Amino acid sequence: MSLRVLNPNAEVLNKSAALHMNINAAKGLQDVLKTNLGPKGTIKMLVGGAGDIKLTKDGNTLLKEMQIQNPTAIMIARTAVAQDDISGDGTTSTVIFIGELMKQSERYIDEGMHPRVLVDGFEIAKRATLQFLEKFKTSAIMGNEPDKEILKMVARTTLRTKLYESLADQLTDIVVNSVLCIRKPEEPIDLFMVEIMHMRHKFDVDTRLVEGLVLDHGSRHPDMKRRAENCYILTCNVSLEYEKSEINAGFFYSNAEQREAMVAAERRSVDERVKKIIEMKNKVCAGTDNNFVVINQKGIDPPSLDLLAREGIIALRRAKRRNMERLVLACGGEAVNSVDDLTPDCLGWAGLVYEHVLGEEKYTFVEHVKNPHSCTILIKGPNDHTIAQIKDAVRDGLRSVKNTLEDECVVLGAGAFEVAARQYLINEVKKTVQGRAQLGVEAFADALLVVPKTLAENAGLDTQDVIIALKSEHDKGNVVGLNLVNGEAVDPQFAGIFDNYSVKRQLINSGPVIASQLLLVDEVIRAGRNMRKPT
């Protein structure tokens, strides 16, 4: 072979061998992920190098944790991960859709079709499907008062695919409320304003939404209050500890008196800053039983803590940067960088601040705030893998709510869209296409059916029965999806199963692109130096 002449160490796969390698890899990956799909999907257990356990049903997590080596599989996995980055969901669907496209193509290629023709068909079908999606979507106008029911249905659909039902239903409200909480009119939604905090405590169903903030540290002084009501919150980024000067300085003294004076002088500037805060506290809290809480991004050293504690001020040091932003959104006020120009306007307000100790860990809750624009989802669970699982699911749930708010439309779920699109492609689009590209459209249309098929398979239903039932309903003009409990057709609108529009669009856009690329590969070459030891 010519390549061998150029580089004797290079490896090459030709024509059909290359194609089959790609197809096999795509099918292999599909096999792994297909059991994940849908509410009846099963859980995978990932065991890390250190023996740590991770349980997941989320395609994205699985792809990230599984270190895939096969080059084709990596390509598909990357597309799926990109899908997650853009729309937050639909990773599993992407992988199985690509796998199915490859599988359908294999049939035609084995019969002697040229991949190029199939790819042309894919392109036509893709455009047609996207147009169909525009017609098919159900618009949901999100004004200032978004329809909570729709949001809940979308969130529930996503969450149920990641967690078991009762927990998913509970999280639905949490997720929807938290997104609505941080939503500001005329501004894009920043999901980072939802803090996700976890505690290893009690049960997964104890997960709740905290309107306010939970910080994962506590005050560092034994005499500070553990619980305070009606608190002013000072959010600041002021160093309240002695800091060494940048230049190399030293003291010279000739007796102990002088040294004492030096010790006192050294602390003076820090003490003054602390005094300003105390003055502020006395000003706003004088005569009332209100409390004062200082949350500082920089450090507070023990002597300063002591001073604050004596005044009954709760002080937290070394808060996270992101929490400073969230605190201001949650409690009001503003973050100050200097204590010199402190005014009562800078202060936030919280009805309740308390510390919760769990073994070695301390948590500080800032709750009962007025008009919060930031909130915390507090995840609880008896062990780390449960928490990790909920965390992944919550992230996806948040994304789905955000997508709905931004898309202002949803798509009927439970496989209804896929079946409808397939019927549309076969019955209408295919006829308008000239020549062999028709077969590409057909392959694409059949590949779409993989979603309802897999849903049925995971629920232990008979795939063929289900597909036939769904097709005939659609031909009658009824838009129906699959009821996973009894395998019958159901109207997704009634069942409240809605998917994100952007997820579907992304899926239809990216799937065929990768599949086409893989189909058009006719040579796989591995050359260059292999850094690893040969196995």
Partner 1 sequence: MGFSMQPYGIQSMLKEGYRHLSGLDEAVVKNIDACKELSTITRTSLGPNGMNKMVINHLDKLFVTNDAATIVNELEIQHPAAKILVLAAKAQQEEIGDGANLTISFAGELLQNAEELIRMGLHPSEIITGYTKGINKAVEFLEQLVESGSENMDVRSKDQVISRMRAAVASKQFGQEDILCSLVADACIQVCPKNPANFNVDNVRVAKLLGGGLHNSTIVRGMVLKTDAVGSIKRMEKAKVAVFASGVDTTATETKGTVLIHSAEQLENYAKTEEAKVEELIKAVAESGAQVIVSGGAVGEMALHFCERYKLMVLKISSKFELRRFCRTTGAVAHLKLSRPNPEDLGYVDSVSVEEIGGVTVTIARNEEGGNSISTVVLRGSTDSILDDLERAVDDGVNTYKAMCRDSRTVPGAAATEIELAKRLRDYANAETGLDKYAISKFAESFEFVPKTLADNAGLNAMEIIASLYTGHGSGNTKLGIDLEEGVCKDASEMNIWDLYVTKLFALKYAADAACTVLRVDQIIMAKPAGGPRRDAAAAAAAMGED
Residues 370-429 that bind partner 1 (CB under 8 A): 382-386
Nearer to partner 1, 111 or 257 (CB): 257
User: Is 45 one of the binding residues for partner 1 (CB under 8 A)?
Assistant: yes
User: Is 528 one of the binding residues for partner 1 (CB under 8 A)?
Assistant: no
Applying CB under 8 A, among 49, 112, 143, 185 the residue interacting with partner 1 is 49
In whole angstroms, the minimum distance from the beta carbon of 67 to partner 1 comes to: 4
Q: Residues 136, 417: contact at Cβ < 8 Å?
A: yes
Q: Tell me the β-bridge partners of 316.
A: 295
Q: C-alpha distances in angstroms, 281 versus 288, 318, 522?
A: 11, 20, 74
Instruction: Indicate if 85 belongs to the active site.
Output: no
User: Is 25 one of the binding residues for partner 1 (CB under 8 A)?
Assistant: yes
Residue 164: CB partners within 8 Å, gap ≥ 6?
Answer: none
Cα–Cα distance between 184 and 186 in angstroms, integer? 6
Coil, helix or strand at residue 316: strand
Instruction: Indicate if 92 belongs to the active site.
Output: yes
Nearer to partner 1, 144 or 254 (CB): 254
User: Is 67 one of the binding residues for partner 1 (CB under 8 A)?
Assistant: yes
Closest listed residue to residue 490, CA positions, set 411, 412, 418: 412
Cα–Cα distance between 373 and 331 in angstroms, integer? 8
Q: Judge residue 301's burial from the number of C-beta atoms within 10 Å of its C-beta, 0-12 exposed, 13-18 middle, 19 or more buried.
A: middle
User: Is 335 one of the binding residues for partner 1 (CB under 8 A)?
Assistant: no
Applying CB under 8 A, among 3, 46, 130, 352 the residue interacting with partner 1 is 46
Cα–Cα distance between 64 and 66 in angstroms, integer? 6
Nearer to partner 1, 260 or 340 (CB): 260
The interface region with partner 1, picked from 174-182, 244-252, 341-349, 411-419 by CB under 8 A, is: 244-252
Cα–Cα distance between 359 and 344 in angstroms, integer? 37
Nearer to partner 1, 208 or 320 (CB): 208
Structure tokens at 268: 């003076």
In whole angstroms, the minimum distance from the beta carbon of 466 to partner 1 comes to: 18
Nearer to partner 1, 192 or 251 (CB): 251
120, 396, 407, 446: which is the annotated catalytic residue?
A: 396
Instruction: Indicate if 206 belongs to the active site.
Output: no
In whole angstroms, the minimum distance from the beta carbon of 310 to partner 1 comes to: 9
User: Is 494 one of the binding residues for partner 1 (CB under 8 A)?
Assistant: no
To the nearest 10°, the Cα dihedral for 485, 486, 488, 492? -20
Concatenate the DSSP letters of all residues of 424-455 into one string.
Answer: HIIIIIHHHS-TTHHHHHHHHHHHHTHHHHHH
Applying CB under 8 A, among 19, 37, 68, 421 the residue interacting with partner 1 is 68
Binding residues (CB under 8 A) for partner 1: these are: 11, 13, 17, 21, 24-25, 27-29, 31-32, 35, 40, 42-51, 53, 55, 65-70, 73, 200-204, 222-223, 242, 244-245, 249-257, 259-260, 262-263, 266, 302-303, 306, 359, 382-386, 460, 526, 530, 534-535
Q: Which residues form the catalytic set?
A: 58, 91-92, 396
